[in-house]
Structure 1
Amino acid sequence: MNKTQQQDVLVIGEALVDIVKKTGNIAEHPGGSPANVALGLSRLGTPAVLLTWLAHDRYGEMIEAHLKANGVQVQTASFAAHKTSSALATIQENGSAVYDFDVTWELPAATLNGTEALIHVGSFSALMDPGSKRILELLKQAKTRTVISYDPNARPALMGTPAEAQEALRQLLPLVDVVKLSDEDSQWFFNLDPTKADQRLKLAETIFEYGVKLLFITAGKSGAYLLSASGYELGQQAGEVEVVDTVGAGDSFMAAILDGLRRLDCLGEQGKEKIGKLSIPELEKLLNYASRVADVTVSRAGANPPTQDEVAW
């Protein structure tokens, strides 16, 4: 296959309905971390394909309609579940969300078409059996020719103990080029606080041992960080925005990273090599872009990321 033919952006993982409860009011929004990333990518100008696990029920149709309206193609094979998953998100006084899940996760018998320039996986679907085993198989097939990104998105209620999750990570991370962690992810998976310089460095060393090239860390009001296996470390202060809630903020940050990598011509087989050689100005632009996209998302309710008309590259 000609390398120039690689063009597809494939997101693999859960799509579900967030039932958001805030000050006694309840609203239903299509969500799920990987689905949110696909949505964010499409709004920023990078069309995405989603491989997920849905049923032909009210929630499944709600999710599909929402994604299609935003330019995301949902693979037909995704509709093989008996029931579409949901998550009750209770919004706290500080805007953060506490989740209670009603989910199943399998993966349809779909195959890669060989044109994927980027594959993103994340959240509980990358670690929750039986679907996670299939994700691992697909990533192994694509590793040498495709940029692979991963956002663990810690969900303790679905991932077992940190020790069990770390065992799954040890199989997954050697296949990955780009990782995004929140401060909560870092503390749960690795018992490290990335807002402290020494622990942030230890976290990066742990991640880079697997061959990961770029590590992004989001830390709420403490801002965001970018560390590269080549030795660079950058920081970005949190924006001066009024936080409505944080639902989908990390996913929009992740989507902006991936959209930015496309703009920097860092997708596909050749892009895998270029990611590790990005300059400080390029990395600064990438981090700043992702932070601005996340700032817009937290300024409004739900997983509602900005479009490319709202946030300039």
Structure 2
Amino acid sequence: MASGVCALCKQDSELMESHIIPKFIGKWLKETSATGYLRSAVNVNRRAQDLKKTPLLCNSCEQIFSANEKLFAENIFKPFQDGHTKFDYDEWLIQFIISLSWRVGTMERIDPKNDMSDQLRHELDIALDTWGEYLLGRSREFGNYKHHMFFLDRLESVPAGEPIPDHTNAYFLRTVDATVVNNENTVFVYSKIPGIFFVSHIIPNNMTGWKSTRIHRGGRVKIPQSCAAPGVGDFLKHRVEFVNSFVSHMSDDQRQKIVDAVSKDPDRLERSRSLDVLKADQQLRDHNKNNKDN
């Protein structure tokens, strides 16, 4: 642990090594992988045992997040991965999503990577401060920002003539991703875990086109959903291509390590989610090829 100021409560404290994407996601990815290891999209030449951590929160604030992560894992993430399509929830779900968006936005605040105007960055700061007060229990309100949760499915086909990046299923179903998205008049926080992505709108505070995706203080969310919000489809394609640009830099040595790990335990490969995704992406490639040939 390192000493510093907790990013949430602003108190001097010993800082925990906090996960930006919750720890249980990394554990699930390892358990369902063909090799038992993780690989970061931005560091594909290094195997890892855990998702990225950074000194961010004091122990008390870390526990606030952990409680909602446990409820999300038990009531939504794991049931969804087992095929469930209806999920009842209480206020813990909006708290979980806001905590995730707060973490992603806070990392942008700490280490700016986006070319954002001063006005949009000011609006991001207001949202983060509002969400922080809500997460700490100092306020019952979390602003007029709308939060959406969208469940992703295996993509088996696309309309003829519509380009789709390679490894799209790997991105949808096996990849974690998070960023603050902005253009000249828009900013929102995007977070993605295997099979699910979240959007927290800031400017504007919502977009039309979402159906059965908005999360409130309580209710039920169910599949099917749809999203025709402007630009979301193109944005997802861009993120797939972004991740692919890193994967293409994997060294021959690291590729061989994957082959060796799989060869040592072929039974693990057969029961892994990794193999399912590889087959799904191959089927999608075959479908696209047939579309072009015809």
Q: Same fold (TM over 0.5)?
A: no
Q: State TM-score, norm by structure 2.
A: 0.29
More helix by share: 2
